């Protein structure tokens, strides 16, 4: 019965993918044809980052485009959306680092607005982006202002602390200052009960700590906790430096919880509450003495290629009521949004 269901799922999944690929390829070709018209030039600056994929056919379809830089001085608004990871659907680490570097070297750029909607993500990626933004400020003496949208948590807030001014929407959730260093499951007793034996040949008593067939020892818990504590100390220091709070004040707030916009303002995690337009006005008033600059939007867009069309169709299929049960295991595993630990990540709404 299970075999029949699996086969049925594979057939249905294949049909859905074929139809989606046909539709997606048509849209891809149609979109590029339309894009050749001179009437389609838009003032909004956009850069479509490409990812390296195996196979010359897929590579040939990948597109790397960028509209011309604005004429004259401007403020760049960078969208930081979704899980902060190396290469996701809405966030790409290579793209954002290249964009910050590009802005740093552009004399027409007068500042950056960060528009953040993120639960956080990898400790490494969040810190790398934070350091890149701090380098931008150091080398250019230009301001960075941040707007917190629905959620600006953990690694998202970590990045926000690079800015000179933080404003949140009145319904924003902010904070989640803390670290996740890993999740371990011990099924050794369950395996023993059912007569399942598993042995991993290894050297070094802590080499396979966290394995499902071996309970975590006290020493191993201390090892992981020490890693977690270092990440936590870094987070506290970043908030302390960015928000002008003592480390003791930050520690009182940094128990991993999220705060409403009002609570965040009372605790000095943000500067004010308002809309994106309010933030632009505040930046114009405080940083530029009322001088007006054009605001240009930059956001990461995954390249249009057959691989991404395929994976997009698979994700839509997995959300169907019967999709999860019928989706081939290999594809299901590939769709999972994996967070690299240790992480500055808020798992509250997932």
Active site residues: 154, 207
The secondary structure of the chain, three-state, reads CHHHHHHHHHHHHHHHHHHHHHHHHHHHHHHHHHHCCHHHCCCCCCECCCCCCCCHHHHHHCCCCECCCCCCCEEEEEEEECCECCECCCCEHHHHHHHHHHHHHCCCEEEEEEEEEECEEEHHHHHHHHHHHHHHHHHHCCCEEEEEEEEEECHHHHHHCCCCEEEECCCCEEECCCCECCCCCCCHHHHHHCCCCCCCCCCCCCCCCCCCCCCCCHHHHHHHHHHHHHHHHHHHHHHHHHHCCCHHHHHHHCCCCEEEHHHHHHCCCCCEECCHHHHHHHHHHHHHCCCCCEEEEECECCCCCHHHHHHHHHHHHHCCCCHHHHCCHHHHHHHCCCCCCCEEECCCCC
Residue count of the chain, please give it.
350
């Amino acid at each position: 019965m299970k075999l029949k269901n699996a086969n049925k799922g594979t057939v249905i999944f294949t049909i859905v993918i074929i139809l989606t690929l046909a539709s997606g390829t048509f849209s891809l070709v149609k979109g590029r044809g339309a894009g050749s018209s001179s009437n389609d030039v838009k003032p909004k600056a956009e850069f479509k980052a490409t990812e390296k994929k195996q196979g010359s056919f897929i590579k040939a379809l990948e597109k790397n485009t960028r509209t011309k830089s604005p004429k004259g001085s401007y403020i760049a608004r960078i969208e930081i959306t979704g899980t902060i990871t190396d290469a996701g659907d809405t966030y790409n680490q290579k793209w954002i680092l290249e964009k910050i570097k590009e802005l740093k070297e552009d004399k027409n750029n007068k500042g950056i607005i960060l528009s953040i909607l993120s639960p956080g993500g990898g400790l490494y990626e969040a810190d790398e982006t934070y350091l890149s933004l701090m380098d931008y400020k150091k080398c250019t003496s230009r301001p960075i202002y941040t707007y917190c949208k629905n959620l600006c948590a953990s690694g998202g807030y970590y990045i926000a602390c690079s800015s000179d001014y933080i404003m949140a929407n009145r319904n924003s959730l902010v904070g989640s200052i803390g670290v996740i260093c890993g999740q371990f499951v011990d099924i050794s007793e369950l395996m023993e009960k059912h007569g399942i034996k598993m042995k991993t040949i290894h050297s070094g008593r802590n080499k396979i700590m966290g394995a499902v067939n071996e309970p975590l020892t006290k020493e191993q818990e201390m090892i992981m906790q020490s890693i977690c504590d270092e990440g936590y100390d870094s987070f506290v220091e970043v908030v302390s430096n960015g928000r002008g709070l003592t480390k003791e004040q930050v520690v009182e707030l940094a128990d991993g919880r999220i705060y409403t916009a009002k609570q965040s303002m009372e605790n000095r995690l943000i500067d004010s509450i308002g809309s994106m337009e309010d933030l632009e006005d505040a930046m114009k008033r405080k940083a530029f003495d009322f001088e007006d600059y054009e605001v240009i939007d930059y956001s990461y867009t995954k390249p249009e290629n057959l691989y991404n069309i395929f994976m997009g169709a698979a994700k839509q299929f997995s959300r169907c009521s019967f999709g999860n049960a019928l989706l081939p295991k290999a594809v299901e595993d590939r769709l999972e949004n994996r967070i690299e630990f240790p992480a500055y990540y808020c798992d509250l709404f997932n």
